[in-house]
Amino acid sequence: MTSIEPTDIESTEESELEAGRLLFARPCEFIAAANNLQALPDMARPEVAFAGRSNVGKSSLVNALTGRKMLARTSQTPGRTRQLIFFNLANRIDLVDLPGYGYASAPKTDIRAWTKLTRQFLAGRQSLQRVFLLVDSRRGMGEGDHEVISLLNETAVSFAVVLTKIDKLKENERDKIILETEQKTAKNVAAFPKVWVTSSEKHIGIAELRAHITGLALLDPLE
């Protein structure tokens, strides 16, 4: 039979989920915490970075993906992550936990207050395969997010929007924010045409995101 049956499509998806599960079960090690250009590690592997407003759940998502509660430091207080934190996942891909923007007490609590280093990293890192732009599903996209998106569009850095903390919303509220975020995302040239919906706390969307990141990783040398 030459046609692709629905069962084949399903099994492809399942094999991707399985590949994601296997990769993220492998060791994930801290490599570097950088607060200046010289401290950035070598571009040894493809990288994906987690960006977004302070307190949106970037470090929590890195922990949920890797199944390690304490890998990246999280906090109820915004501004926890102050440096660019690099993790090596099984020598196949690096995960980069970025500082958030928008926590400063100054009125301009957006990307303008974000560190120069983070912007330089996002705009000029050749090994960066994708930026995950995290958006709190209770707030939706804000001014700071739009400024990061402009930067990524201008520098042609591929990004995907990830809604976080979806567990905090009721079922009927979820659809509205997902649709609204999809519409805003679709307007951008550098955007990946899918919005990820996640909860690190309730483990929603984590397996799918693992599978997606695995598709960006170096091939398993043992395969």
Ligand X SMILES: Nc1nc2c(ncn2[C@@H]2O[C@H](COP(=O)(O)OP(=O)(O)OP(=O)(O)O)[C@@H](O)[C@H]2O)c(=O)[nH]1
State the binding partner of 56 from ligand X, Mg ion, none, CB within 5 to 8 A by kind: ligand X
- Measured from the CB atom, the residue of 85 and 141 that comes closer to Mg ion is 85
Select from 103, 95, 10 the least CA-distant residue to 59: 95
Least distance (Å) between residue 61 CB and Mg ion: 9
- Is position 109 an interface residue for ligand X (rule: CB under 6 A)? no
- Is position 183 an interface residue for ligand X (rule: CB under 6 A)? no
- Is position 79 an interface residue for ligand X (rule: CB under 6 A)? yes
Cα separation, 31 vs 169, in Å, equals: 35
- Is position 168 an interface residue for ligand X (rule: CB under 6 A)? yes
Cα separation, 89 vs 181, in Å, equals: 29
Least distance (Å) between residue 34 CB and ligand X: 15
3-state helix, strand, coil in the chain (%, to 5): 35, 20, 40
Least distance (Å) between residue 98 CB and Mg ion: 8
- 76-114 burial, b for 16+ CB within 10 Å, e for fewer? eebebbebbbbbbbbebbbbbbbbbbbbeeeeebbbeeb
- Measured from the CB atom, the residue of 47 and 97 that comes closer to ligand X is 97
- Is position 92 an interface residue for ligand X (rule: CB under 6 A)? no
Least distance (Å) between residue 139 CB and ligand X: 12
**DSSP assignment string, 33-51:** EESSGGGSPP--S-EEEEE
User: For residues 73-92, which are near Mg ion according to CB under 5 A?
Assistant: 80-81
Site mask for Mg ion (CB under 5 A), range 25-64, x = bound = ---------------------------------xx-----
CA distances from 140 to 68, 162, 164, 202 (A): 27, 11, 10, 20
- Is position 74 an interface residue for ligand X (rule: CB under 6 A)? yes
Rg (CA), the chain: 17
Q: Which residue is nearest to ligand X (CB)?
A: 100
Residues lying near ligand X in the complex (CB under 6 A) are found at 52, 54-60, 74-76, 78-81, 99-100, 164-165, 167-168, 199-201
Residues lying near Mg ion in the complex (CB under 5 A) are found at 58-59, 80-81
